[in-house]
Amino acid sequence: MLKTATWPVYGSDDSGAQGRMHPLVPLNHRLRAIGHPLIAVMAYAQFGAERPGAVFWIALLATAFVWPQLAYLVSSRSPDGKSAELRNLLIDSFLAGAWVAEIHFGLFPAAVIAGAMTTACLSVGGPALFRRAFASVVVGAVLVGLSTRFEVSLGSSVVASGICLVCLFLFMSVFGLNSYVQTRRVIRARKEVAEQHAMIGDQVRIIERALQAALDANEDAKAANASKSAFLANMSHELRTPLNAILGYSEILTEDARAAGQAGLVADLGKIATAGHHLLDLINEILDLSKLEAGKTRLHFDTFNIALAVDDVVTTVRPLVERNRNRLEVVCPPRIGLMREDVTKVRQVLLNLLSNAGKFTTEGVVTLEAERATADGEEFVVFRVRDTGIGIPEETQARLFEPFVQADGGTQRKYGGTGLGLAITRKLCQLMGGDVTLESEPGRGSTFTVRLPVIETEDLEASAVKPQMRRGGSGVMRALTGPLKLPLALVVDDDPVERELMERVCEREGFAVVACGEGQEALRLAAERSPHVIILDIVMKGMDGWQVLEALKADPALARIPVVVVSVLDERDRGLSMGARAYFVKPVSHERLALLFSRLRSGRAS
């Protein structure tokens, strides 16, 4: 019995790493390994007692046993297995035509050989491959027919006809069995995805209800603004935890579906991921606003190059602006100099304004200007975001920076959004000692002007610019030193769904995994197993992540183990100050985790 699963799998994906074999390769190998010997049997049966010579036997054996293995070897080692296999099918068709001529165009055997070959090509490559296969059959028949002088013997013996019928039945059975197996696999995959989709749909509806409850609570609690903000801030864990599962499993399922060649499923899963990211953006906006209103947002000052920060913002926002066929123009002197401010907040302000401008402008121009200015003896950096979009009515401009306010109901229905972006932008500007103003005219576009103080320091030399600030100063990936051997990851999270998700991510990136859901157990496993990295959640029952991290760093035997915090709590500074090597806020993309794990394995600092 042929078992193609035991053959080595070759081929490369887009990244150059070892990839999965295209499913067409093993399928055609199974058919070829049975079909070509059948062609040989039919050819021998047609000749019967004529006792053909050595050339005939060499060609017969090569077609039956050598060519199927050679075709598999070529396709399995090719970077593009599908294209290689389609070429092999044309060679199959040529051989079929050659044997049709070699058996003197015996009507029944010829019909079986040529019909089976062209039918197979039609099933895997459609009409285009069918036409090319038919042409290959003709070419093979003509070339070999020249050597046989096109001798024609349409009849066939009863024995030959019987063998042809058996061969035809076997070929159809093999092809039908493979089709049945593939169909069952597709049905099973669709069923699994449907179940996951239903589960994710339930979680999405739970989140939607939670968000709606949060918005309703916000309306009812305007008189008690502090209580509303505290409530929304406390919702972070409850909202981000299921959302992290939605986005994480959608990425895993997308990778599996893409590897299986299920393009339709990839598209459906992409819609789930898009919806999840939309919900994440909404959650982030609500939580940002609640923290600002509750006075819990802190500034982290650093000296940075203004031109580099503008360049980073432009690189990030350009695809959003150009989505509506807009042109993005930037006016920023390369020697505009340095400023001391919270660069992450500055980037957030500019990203909010530029994405807003691109959203409400179609086939127009969005411009970002940056310059220095002085007023009342104080130096400012002025950013202007201009657009040629729909503009804003004068009666709406006065309240546009209030939470949940948009230009009008029609704007909200057409463009979507929550009306939180500009409210957050103004509060951030005011928190940094500046402000944002608006000038607009309906139908002629809008101009948002941001003024932020430079905040002079003792030394504003270019050397003061920290490299990590050139990419937003997130500090997510710090130095992860020391070569890692036989990498083992310890995953600590009290949520079984989150724990399983992180286990699968670690395993996909080449780590062995041990996991637990309790702080004391984590410390015991760390002491016994000496993992190469610890993935640690913060919000846990009993001994929380902060206590675990503190205990790890207090133990000389465990202090050198890199700890990567993955939590719904946005307390990156606290985690890094306590010794964590990296800090991620859920949900975190697999791409960022994959980059981190790659650097862990190679021992390189980020």
Mean pLDDT, the chain, whole residue set? 77
Among the listed ranges 133-142, 334-343, 415-424, which one has the minimum average pLDDT value?
A: 415-424
CB 567 within 8 A of CB 451: no
Cα angle 138, 141, 142; round to 5: 85
Inform me whether the pLDDT recorded for 130 exceeds 60. yes
Which run of H or E residues covers position 162? helix 158-220
Q: Look at 147-151, 212-216, 311-315, 366-370 and tell me which has the smallest mean pLDDT.
A: 147-151
The confidence score (pLDDT) of residue 260 equals 81
Average pLDDT score over residue span 87-116: 78
**Three-class secondary structure of residue 557 per DSSP:** coil
Q: What is the pLDDT of residues 2-45, one digit of tens each?
A: 333 333 343 334 333 345 678 778 877 877 777 778 777 777 76
Joined together, the tokens standing for residue 187 give 């049905």
Q: Which residues pair with 386 in a beta bridge?
A: 367, 447
Q: State the Cα–Cα distance between residues 131 and 69, nearest whole angstrom.
A: 25
pLDDT score of 326 more than 80: yes
Pure H helices in 421-484 = 421-431
Are the beta carbons of 513 and 491 closer than 8 angstroms?
A: yes
* Virtual torsion, Cα 372, 375, 377, 380, nearest 10 deg: -30
CB < 8 Å & 24+ apart, contacts of 458-461: 460/303, 460/337, 460/338, 460/340
Q: Is the pTM of this model over 0.85?
A: no
* Of 314, 318, 319, the residue nearest 331 (C-alpha): 314
CB atoms near residue 176 (< 10 Å): 10
What CA–CA distances, in Å, run from 506 to 437, 476, 509, 512?
47, 18, 5, 7
Kindly report which listed range (8-12, 362-366, 502-506) carries the lowest average pLDDT score.
8-12
- Residue 596 contacts residue 564 (beta carbons within 8 Å): yes
The answer, yes or no, to whether residue 198 has pLDDT greater than 90, is no
Q: How far apart are CA 488 and CA 508, in angstroms?
A: 13
227: left (phi over 0), alpha (psi -120 to 50) or beta: alpha
Dist CA 478 CA 51 (whole Å): 78
Taking only the tens place, the pLDDT of each residue in 386-411 is: 999 888 887 777 777 776 555 554 55
**pLDDT at site 465:** 36
DSSP 5-27: GGSPP--B-TTSSB-PPPTHHHH
Which pLDDT does position 205 carry in this prediction? 87
Confidence (pLDDT) at 553: 92
Lowest pLDDT segment from 277-286, 481-490, 530-539, 576-585: 481-490
Distance (Å, whole) CA 210 – CA 281: 15
